[in-house]
Each structure stands twice: as structure tokens, then as C-alpha cells.
Structure 1
Amino acid sequence: MAGMLELVLSFPVLILLLSVVILGILMMYIVLFVTTQREPDLWRHDSEMYFSTGNGEERAPFPSLDDPASVSLSLIVPAYNEKDRLPIMLDEALFFLEERLKEDSSFSYEVIVVDDGSRDSTSEVVIEYSKRYGSNKVRLLKFVKNRGKGGAVRMGMLSSRGSRLLFADADGATRIEDLTKLEDALSKDAPDHDVAAISVGSRAHLQDDAVAERTFFRNFLMFGFHFLVWFFCVRGIKDTQCGFKMFTRAAARPLFNSIHVNRWAFDVELLLIAQKLNLPISEVAVNWHEVEGSKLVPFWSWLQMAKDLLLISFRYLFRIWTVSPGTKSKTD
């Protein structure tokens, strides 16, 4: 009898707790719904639709990712205040691509550097390379104002011509030669270029050495971030943040027309969407070395990324954001 009485007395408490939980979830949904831009930000300023042809003041419109491919490879390089590190990266990349061009007459490429509203002479650096190699090979997409790395990669991809599309960081931390490893992995999943597939560079094999060199606090932040990625968003990928990822054109279309995140956590949303679409994803070990001049501020950047992960997870959970494979890019 006593046990039954305790159960009856506790029933209102359980109802109250359940009501509080339901009310909390409802309030969270309302706040997220009201404060979230539901559609991807695919708008661009008029000047961002064009690149310089190198002939005086003449400009030509960027193509669309929705168009058929016209070159073998597009290399997208997001850059913000990178006048010092970018030339080293471009020299290495263009030397490799030009050598490949000599060896394989069927190969063609383009490099699109997206100046993400830089305050230094990043754009002038790119223009010099465009003059040297021609605007058919090197193009500058200059933002009117800063969008963030995710926004820069997205717009570069939406303006590309490649059958395969790779984005790589402007610091050159990953060796450009390793793109052949990503191509090999992509060929296994997508022998036909019309098949959607992704291959991502990974630094997971370097983790033991990195842990030994980092402070306890930075290791704590790193493992905490990895846990949040695994728990809330993406499973099965050991390194979601390596800035070296390749896509077939068929994979890039739905992905870059769908992502919302403009800042550092865009990689996670990208892979989350890919898994929701059941796209094959290969993770490939690449050579990587740390380069001075990182834009990440250890504590605050990780805090911002952790917040973004939670928001990404809840927005898809509540279906405020949805995946639409048929989304078209907007250039007006």
C-alpha cells in the first residue's frame, strides 16, 4: 500500500516535469524558427557575378554549377587577408597542375580564389597570377564584404566549371599532390563522373603526435569538439575539419545549394547533408603540416563552433532546415 501511495503522489510530479520538458522543447523550436534563415543564402552582389578577363576593364560572368562541366578540375581557395601565405600555396598548386597538364593533354583545370572581403592586398595577388596564367586558369571571385569560410567555399563552388571540385585552404597546409589520393578514392565510388561521391582529406593518422605536442587545454577542446560532432551531427568520419575535400559535380550541386552555415562549422553541415542524401564518402589520409598565421582563436573559435554544432543539429532535428537535392543556385 505504501508503495502504491508513493506512486500516486509522485504522478503529479512526473506530469509537471514532463510538461516542463515539452514546454522547453516548444520554446526552443519557436526561438529557432523565428531567428533562423530557413533558405540557404545564395544571393550575391552584382560585382560578385563576374571575373576580370585580363583585358583592361572587361569582365565575364562566372558560370553556374548547374551547367555541364567544361574542365577536369576546379580548385577553390577561400582566402581572407592571405597576401603573405597565398603566393606560396598558389606557386605550389599551379606548378603541380601545369606539370600534370604537360603529361596529360586531356586534363584541364581552373583555380578560383575567393577573396572573402579581405582588408589587405589578397585580390591584387590573385590578379597577378590571373595575368600570368590567364583568366581561363586563374580567376578571382571578390566579395564585397566578409561572409566566412563556408560562404566563400560555397560561392566558389557555385561558380566553377570542374567535373571534379576540390577546395583547399590558402595556407597550403595540405600538400596539393595529395589531390591524386582523393581522385583515386573518388574513382572507386564514382567511376562515372555523373555519379555523386565525396572524398575528404584526413589528419586523423597524425592525431597521436598532435596530442603529444599540444597543451592539455587544447587537447580537451579538440576531443570535446570531436565528441560533439559525433554525438550531434556526423558519425563515421574521423576528421571533419580538414580543409581538403573533393566532390564530383553531381555531389557538389545538391550540397552547395543546400548548406546554410557560413563560418568554420560549414564542413560539419556539408557532411551531415551528404549522409542524409546517402552519398558515398571516402576518408583519405593526407600529408599535413601546421602553418603559422591561423585565423582560429583557440578558445573562442572552438566555443563558436560548438554553438554552431548544436544549432545545426537542432535545426535539422526540428526540420527548420531541410535537404533539397533539387535546389537551384541564385545569381540575381
Structure 2
Amino acid sequence: MDKGVVSRSVSVVLPAYNEEQTIEHTVTTTLETLQSFLSPGAFEVIIAEDGCDDRTPEIATRMATEDGRVHHFHSDERLGRGGALERAFEAATGDVLVYFDTDLATDMSHLEELVTRIQSGKYDVATGSRWMRGHRADRPAKRGVPSRGFNLLVRTLLRSSIKDHQCGFKAISREAFNDLHEEIEDRHWFWDTELLVRAQRRGYRVSEFPVQWTPKGDTKVDLVRDIFGMGSQIIRLFWQLSIQPRITQRVTIAAGLLLTLIAVGLMTLYLDPSDVIAEMGRADLTLVGIAALLYLFSWPIRGLRYRDILSQLGFNERVGFLTGAVFISQTGNLVFPARAGDAVRAYIVKMRRGIPYPSGFASLAAERVFDLLTITGLAGIVLIGYAATGQGGEVASAFGADPETGAQSGRTAVIVASGVGMAAIAAVTAIVLSARSDTNRVRTFITRVSNDSYGEYVASILERFIGDLQRAAGTRRAFSLIGATSVLIWVIDVLVAAIVLAAFGVGLSTIQLLSVCFFAVSVGNLAKVLPLSPGGIGLYEGAFTLLVVGLTPIGAATALGAAIVDHAVKNIVTLVGGVISMISLNVSLTTAVEESQEMAAAEIDADATAE
């Protein structure tokens, strides 16, 4: 492949995948165009062949053998467009790095202008544009409309001044590439856009100029690449550049506290806060203490369940270590929004026990699905019980009262809870059925909507994830074992709420107390699945209060006071256990959150490429 290292001023990279019909013509045209304005020996052409399964490698090897200006970089596996470009640029010898699509959709008369803009030293990055004034582009509507929408999103969210980010006709100086390429995370079609956005953010001089462009080859909208792939990458880069730098532990805690105060504040529209505080002051502290001890007992059971899930994936760990990992991750969910603590647990088991991130996240997903399935089942059983005892009307009236009493929020909570519950049941059903089938439905579905390398990348990640999820819950023994511990965990959670409610001297019979708590705790936890506040604070209290008030003679102030104490007891036990676990395992919560996101993305990408 290498014919001796020669210092060349220009390196042109042609990313190629199954281009046997066009690659020879493309290379010949490129050489002719370059030699028309560059001196001999001042350029090279690199064919970055990306895991082709046609005759492209054979043709590229022959051309590289026949012409010393041509190099062929072969890859046995798909690297993705961006991955193939980076690999070639790193090995290229030129000071000006150029690439364009092998279909030569952009008129080659613009190549000299592209190269000259970098060679002159006036610009660090140059790109052709199909959307600038003065361009000529026969852009089909089925590609033009999505392209304009994509570029609008990039300009709006990522604050880019470029009009056309995806035109496959770009050049960059060696210095700028060396400085930027390690920051670029995407290895597929978003690579071009990320290069331009990061270059602008770093203050590099970026030039965009109009080109004549004629579409060639496949112009289909690829569902996975264009919507899932590109859309998710815009969100990822927006988070990294605009949100993440502003999120500190202080900001996160302040935002969570603000959301909590807002949620509690909305409740005070219907309740006098002094009444709630007075009711909390009359609670029996002995019963509250018993509730806290009972809740503490549930944590080793959580560790036991997590051990059983991981054992199905082939990882055998001690219950004590896993209980600490669960404590820390749940503490993270209390402190950080959007359940960021879940990533912390995957980070801990990866760093301490070497469990891969896809398996770590699959084990978390299995745990969450069983949690949702269990509390949905508990709520359903109690609802059937109410109907069987002739109390169905009371349940209906609890969600059909005057909105000014706060019941409107209760109806919203039930709608959310019902949707989440049905999703959990559907997920478990799909897992069990798919585990009993030998058909690879994930890749089959992906290939139906995508024939791009990004689709293969997404399929490989989903296959690993779903495969682990199936192993965690796909057998009768595993399902029964994990299901039984899940029921025990949530029964304890309900009993804690019942003891706390009894501490307020509500005067309910044991059956009434357990019935309303099973229903209120289940619906409250389903409602707080939406990550609107850390730990679901505010959402749980609201749903719990409205159900207790609607189904019992208990007043709103007492119900809210009990809900606050119940949630506070559980959160305090979680925080204390989390702090002790962080000290014993030597884990920093903020460091774990930051590193887990970066390492998870890197490992999942590496695993997908390897597979």
C-alpha cells in the first residue's frame, strides 16, 4: 500500500463503499483535475475503501499498483463514512486534506477553488454549498426538503453559520484536522456536520462557497440514518456544546430544588401549607422509624435481584457490592434529573467488575421493566378488588371531580400511569416471545428501512442490548425468580407507606389502609416515571394525595403530609445508604456521571464496530 513517505501538499481522500461501477472513472478524473493546477508530486489520491463486498477492493489495489500517486486503504469491516475518512486523513501526507463523494455529484471544476482556499492560508476549512446564492443544484424534493430541515436545525440548535453542512465536498488544513478530529465522536454521516460545527466553535476560519451539483445514485430518505442517526447526533452535540458545560453539581441541585418547590407550590393552591405542617407534626415518630427500618430491609433484596439479573448474563457478583451499586445509582437519580444515576450503576459495575456497558444497561432495563410490570400488576389487582366490592364508583369519582379540587391532576397521573403500565406489559411480552424465537427480528427490521452503514451500527447495538435483555428475563426460571423479588420489593414499599399513613392516626381498617396504599403507591410510582424532577419529587406526592383523598375520608392536608413523610423517609434512607456506599466503594457521584456518559458512548461504538 505505502510506496514511501513523500511530503505532498494535497491529499485527496475518496470514501468508497461498493463503487465498482464508478471508482476507476472517479480516480482517473480526480488525478486529471489535480494535475491541471498542481505540480507533479504535489498530491496523492487515497481510496478509503470501507468494507466493500464487491470488486471495489480489487480495482483500487490495481490502480494503486499502476500509479504511485494512488493509495488504497482497505478495511475488512464497515467503519462508517466518518471513520473511513479519519483513518485515511491520519495516514495522509498532505498539508491540505480534501475529500468529496465518489459519485462526483459536485462539478470537478470547483476542486481548484476548494484546494486554493486552504493553500492560501486564508481559511482553515472550506466546503461547497448547494444552498448558497449562486449555486446550481438539481435537488429532488424528497431529498431537498429533509436537507433544508436538517440544516435549519443545525443552524438553530448548534449556532452554525453554514447553510449546507452535508455537501460532500470539503477541505481542511492538516493543523486544524489534527486539533479537531479527536473531539469528533460520530463515525458515520454526521461526521461532516460535527467537523464544521466544532471548527466554528474553536474559532477556525471556515469558508463556504456555491457549487454546481447534480444528484447521482441513490437519493432515498434513509429512516435510520436521516431521522434516528442524524437527529440524535444533533441532540448529542447540542448537549455537549451548549448544555453540559453549564451543568455543575450546584446548578443541577438548584434546578431539582426549583422543580420540587414549583410542584409543592402548585399543591398549595388547594391546601394551606400550615395545615400540612401541623398534620406532619402530629405523626407518630415511632411508627415513622419502624417504616424507615422496614424500607432499609428492602435494599439487600434489591441487590439480590440485581445479582440474579446479572447472573443470567454470565456475571456472578456479590450481593453486598451490588447493593452498594444500587444505592449509589438511586442516590444519583435523587440528585440528578433524567435518571442520570442509572448510568452511574453501569459505570460502577464496568469499572469495578469489568461488565460491558451494553450488558450493564440491559440489566438496568430488565430491572426497570420488572419494576413497572410489578407496580402495574399491583395497581390492577387493587382496582379489580375495588370493582368486585362495589367500590368502582368511588374510584371513578376520584378522577371525575371538579378540577378545582385538584382531581384534574389525578386524572393526568392515571393517564400517565396507564400508559406506562401498558408499555411495561408490552415490553415484557415482546421480550418473552422474542426470546423463544430464533429469528433475528432486530436486524431484519432495520435492514427494511435502512441500507446504510449507520443502520448496521444501530442494529449491532440493539442486537447486543436486546440479546442481553432476553437472557435476563427470557427463561421461565429467570422470569419467576426476578419477578418474585420484584413483588417483594414493592410490597415492602407499600407497607412502608401504609405504616407512615397509620402514623397520622387516620383510623382506617387494615384492609382499607393496605388497599388504598397499594393503589396510591403504584399509581404514584408509575406517574413519576416521567423524569420531570429528581427522584420524582412532587409527582409522587400529588398522585398519592389525590388517590387517598378520593378513596378514603382522609383530608387533603393529612394525605399530603403522609405522602411527603413517606417519600422523605425513602429518600433519606436512599441518601444515607448512597453516601455510605460511595465511601466504601470510593466512588464520586459527579465524576461517575461525567465519565459514564463518555465511556459508555465510546465502548458501545467500539463494540458495534467490532461486531
Residue type matched to 1:117 in 2?
A: G
Residue type matched to 1:287 in 2?
A: Q
Identity of aligned residues (%): 27
For the residues of structure 1 that align with 2:112 and 2:179, how far apart are their CA atoms? 24
Residue type matched to 2:161 in 1?
A: G
Does 2:158 align with 1:221?
A: no
Which of 89, 113, 129 is equivalent to 1:181?
Answer: 113
Aligned 1:54-65 pairs, distance under 5 A:
none
Which is greater in Rg? 2
Does 2:12 align with 1:80?
A: no
Which of 125, 130, 135 is equivalent to 1:198?
Answer: 125
Does 2:84 align with 1:157?
A: no
How far residue 234 of structure 1 moved from its aligned partner, in angstroms, is 4.3
How far residue 171 of structure 1 moved from its aligned partner, in angstroms, is 1.2
Does 2:54 align with 1:112?
A: no
For the residues of structure 2 that align with 1:132 and 1:208, how far apart are their CA atoms? 36
Residue type matched to 1:176 in 2?
A: M
How far residue 170 of structure 1 moved from its aligned partner, in angstroms, is 1.4
Residue type matched to 1:79 in 2?
A: A
Q: After the TM superposition, which parts of structure 1 deviate over 4 Å for at least 4 consecutive aligned residues?
A: 206-211, 319-322
- The answer as to whether partners of 1:158 and 1:256 remain within 8 angstroms in 2 is no
Q: Which runs of 5+ in 2 are unaligned?
A: 246-593, 599-611
For the residues of structure 2 that align with 1:143 and 1:209, how far apart are their CA atoms? 33
- The answer as to whether partners of 1:181 and 1:284 remain within 8 angstroms in 2 is no
For the residues of structure 1 that align with 2:149 and 2:129, how far apart are their CA atoms? 18
Does 2:35 align with 1:98?
A: yes
| Cα displacement string for residues 189-237 of structure 1 (whole angstroms, at most 9, x for unaligned residues) | x15xxxx7111111114779656x525xx55423321221112224210
For the residues of structure 1 that align with 2:223 and 2:216, how far apart are their CA atoms? 19
Which of 45, 52, 56 is equivalent to 1:122?
Answer: 56
- The answer as to whether partners of 1:201 and 1:244 remain within 8 angstroms in 2 is yes
Q: Which has the higher helix share?
A: 2
- The answer as to whether partners of 1:88 and 1:172 remain within 8 angstroms in 2 is no
| Cα displacement string for residues 116-147 of structure 1 (whole angstroms, at most 9, x for unaligned residues) | 1111121111111112212xx11111112101
TM-score, normalised by the number of residues in structure 2: 0.37
Q: CA 1:276/1:119 → structure 2, altered by over 3 Å: closer, same or farther?
A: same
For the residues of structure 2 that align with 1:99 and 1:207, how far apart are their CA atoms? 23
2:179 maps to which residue? 254
Does 2:196 align with 1:271?
A: yes
For the residues of structure 2 that align with 1:172 and 1:150, how far apart are their CA atoms? 18
1:314 maps to which residue? 239
Q: Which runs of 5+ in 1 are unaligned?
A: 1-50, 54-59, 64-68, 323-332
SS at match of 2:53: coil
- The answer as to whether partners of 1:115 and 1:142 remain within 8 angstroms in 2 is yes
1:242 maps to which residue? 167
SS at match of 2:15: strand
For the residues of structure 1 that align with 2:173 and 2:137, how far apart are their CA atoms? 32
For the residues of structure 2 that align with 1:88 and 1:277, how far apart are their CA atoms? 37
For the residues of structure 1 that align with 2:137 and 2:22, how far apart are their CA atoms? 25
- The answer as to whether partners of 1:233 and 1:268 remain within 8 angstroms in 2 is no
For the residues of structure 1 that align with 2:195 and 2:50, how far apart are their CA atoms? 19
For the residues of structure 2 that align with 1:292 and 1:115, how far apart are their CA atoms? 18
Which of 95, 102, 105 is equivalent to 1:170?
Answer: 102
SS at match of 1:259: coil
Q: CA 1:209/1:183 → structure 2, altered by over 3 Å: closer, same or farther?
A: closer
Q: Say what the alpha-carbon RMSD is for the aligned residues.
A: 2.6
SS at match of 1:162: coil
How far residue 257 of structure 1 moved from its aligned partner, in angstroms, is 2.9
- The answer as to whether partners of 1:71 and 1:163 remain within 8 angstroms in 2 is yes
Q: Number of matched residues?
A: 245
Which of 283, 286, 293 is equivalent to 2:211?
Answer: 286
How far residue 297 of structure 1 moved from its aligned partner, in angstroms, is 3.6
Q: CA 1:72/1:293 → structure 2, altered by over 3 Å: closer, same or farther?
A: same
SS at match of 1:89: helix
Which of 53, 75, 78 is equivalent to 1:143?
Answer: 75
How far residue 287 of structure 1 moved from its aligned partner, in angstroms, is 2.1
Higher relative contact order, chain-length normalized (CA < 8 Å, sep 6+)? 1
For the residues of structure 2 that align with 1:163 and 1:223, how far apart are their CA atoms? 32
For the residues of structure 2 that align with 1:116 and 1:161, how far apart are their CA atoms? 20
- The answer as to whether partners of 1:116 and 1:143 remain within 8 angstroms in 2 is yes
Residue type matched to 1:318 in 2?
A: Q
Residue type matched to 1:201 in 2?
A: G
2:26 maps to which residue? 89
